[in-house]
Every structure is written in structure tokens, then in C-alpha cells.
Amino acid sequence: MNLAQEMQRGLKQRAQGRVRGRYAPSPTGDLHLGNIRAALYAWLHSRCLEGDCILRIEDLDQGRCKDGYEEQMLQDLQWLGFTFDEGVEEGGEFGPYRQSERITLYEQALELLKSQQRVYPCYCTRREMQARASRSASGEYVYDGRCKRLSAEELAELARTRRPAWRFCVDHGEVTIQDGFKGELVQDVSREVGDFVVRRRDGIFSYQLAVVVDDICMGVTDIVRGEDLYESSPRQVLLYRAFGTTAPRFWHIPLVLNQEGHKLSKRDRAHGVRGWVDEHGSHDQGRFFGAIVEAMGWQCGESLTLENIYQHACVSGMCDTWREAKGRLENK
């Protein structure tokens, strides 16, 4: 695979104007209510805007992606009635659709950033970095850029005993994004995050780099995902700029929380598809969707199908709202 060719192909597709969304889960456990709601929002968004929805598997961290989880995840999505226009089972011209099969593209992307002098090797351990780092207003550690200031001799000495991570060199200044759900976010990434990792010391590429490369190459126009990723969006905007393009439209949705007010975990079967099936049986997809829709604040029945939900989105004005918001985002 050739990065330049794949990016050019994806950007050509994006320029055609047809909406291309994606649902991109990680096979690290059973799907829970929050995962399915994110899938539902992404699927509905593409359908309402008469576009395509891609299913991409984000399985870069093989240490967390266990055998059998992807197969179970695909079965659960099929059980619920989800259909995708492209994906690991559907195929498509912008595949492969597993990140573990796209490593060569991320390697080429890193080499491109190296040639632009936009990244540098960092030999700091997590403990060393946190000992020196300041904290942002959000509580995140802000890297102090130590390795960027080291001499060639000092770097060579560290390289004898340590493998480096690679950090993206962040310029000073604010980054502004317009989000279809949450509105405007203004962030000075240099102050709030600092130079961020695009490849870890263990060789695994970061989420930030991989999703940007994938979304460019797949011609993605709209990103619908959980609001836990809202604050990381400006980092991705900087990477889009480094690759010579603009970011897709962002739509960050509220998370589903448990009774303690915490984000749901895939380790909690009580809130997962498997736990639901164990308790209610494999025939009761409708009530499962009913529970999701109730959590969204909709009142449209206790037993639902995807088609019922889509029709509700049409008649309730949700599709019109998305079309209007899309127009506003395009004009900013």
C-alpha cells in the first residue's frame, strides 16, 4: 500500500460531497449500551444524510484485543440488525478495514512526518515525564519537550539502552474546532497537552495518528463518536494539517453512564449485549434497542427495530436537524 496514493484517493472521494461516516469499535471486550448507542448514532447519521457508513475495526493494541472479541462483536451487531456499506465483512474499495492490516500506512505516515521534521524521538519513561510535567486545567500531564532539546550526542547515548517513542511537535497557538453536537472548542494544544505521542515505545502507533490516516484514506467526511474523545480532536486537527488537508466534521455524543456516574466498561456484562442476551434471551433485540432509545430521551416504544428508530428520526425532525447542522459546519 502506498500512503500518497491512498490519501489522494480518499481525498478525491471526500471531494465528491457524499457523506461517509464510520463506526470504529475496538475488540477489547463485549459491546455495552454505550458502544451500541455510538453505533446507532453513527448509522443514523449516515442514513439521515443519505450517505455511507463504514465499519472499521481498531485493533492496533493487540495486547488488549483478545481472541474471539471481534467475532462476537460482529455477531452482536448483526443480531441487532446493523448493516454497513463497507467493512471487514462487507469489503469495499477503501480497505482493508482492520487497523492491524494497515500498519504499512502508519509507518509511511511516520516517515513522512520525520521528513518534515514534525516529529522527534522521545526517550523519557512515563515516570520521568510525569515527574517533570505540569498539569493542564483538565488534569492531563503536559510534556515539557525535554528530548526535543537534547544534543545529537545525548540522544545517541540514550538510544544505546532505550527504545524511543515518537512525538509530534506542536506549534504554539490555539486550534478551533466546530462540533455538530457540542459546539465550538478552542484549545492551545501546546499548553494543554504539549508534544504528543504518535508512536509508543513498544512500537504501537497511537490512536491519534492511526485514525487520522485511516479517515483521510477512507474518504471519511463525518466522525460521530463519544464525547470522551472531544478534547483530543484538536490534536487530530494538527495531524490533518500536517498531512495537507482539513479535518472531517466532528459530532461528539454524550456518554452512557452507570449508576455511579462513571463511563461504562466492557468488563461490566450487566450493561453489555452478552449480559442482556443471557438475561432476556437472543430473541429480544427490540427491548434492547428500547433501552438504548430511552437512554437517548426518546419516547417511541419499548420494542424497536433499526427501521423503527430511523423512521422516528425522520418524523421527529432529527434528520432535518442534522442536515441543518451539517450546513452550518460547512459554512464555518
- Total domains, the chain: 2
Residues, the chain: 332
Which has the closest alpha carbon to 289: 273, 269, 303? 303
Q: What is the pLDDT of residue 35?
A: 87
Residue 308 belongs to a domain with what CATH number?
3.40.50.620
Q: Taking the C-alpha atoms of 111, 113, 117 and 123 in order, what is their torsion angle to the nearest 10 degrees?
A: -70
Contacts of range 274-277, beta carbons closer than 8 Å, 24 or more positions apart: 274/30, 274/72, 274/76, 275/30, 277/79
Which has the closest alpha carbon to 256: 104, 102, 32, 64? 32
Residue 160 belongs to a domain with what CATH number?
3.90.800.10
pLDDT, average across residues 65-84: 89
| 205 domain residue, yes or no | no
Q: Which three cell numbers stand for residue 254?
A: 454524550
Q: What is the pLDDT of residue 262?
A: 62
Q: What CA–CA distance (Å, rounded) separates 49 from 38?
A: 17
pLDDT tens per residue across span 116-132: 999 999 999 888 888 88
Residues 51 and 134 in one domain: no
Active-site residue set: 266
Instruction: Compare 289 and 110 and report the one with higher pLDDT.
Output: 110
Q: Is this structure's pTM higher than 0.75? A: yes
pLDDT tens per residue across span 154-210: 999 999 999 999 999 999 999 999 999 999 999 999 999 999 999 999 999 999 999
Question: Residue 185 belongs to what domain range?
Answer: 108-199
| 206 domain residue, yes or no | no
pLDDT tens per residue across span 250-263: 999 988 765 665 66
Residues 318 and 262 in one domain: yes
- In 10 A of CB 263, how many CB atoms? 12
CA distances from 288 to 33, 44, 100, 246, 332 (A): 9, 17, 31, 38, 38
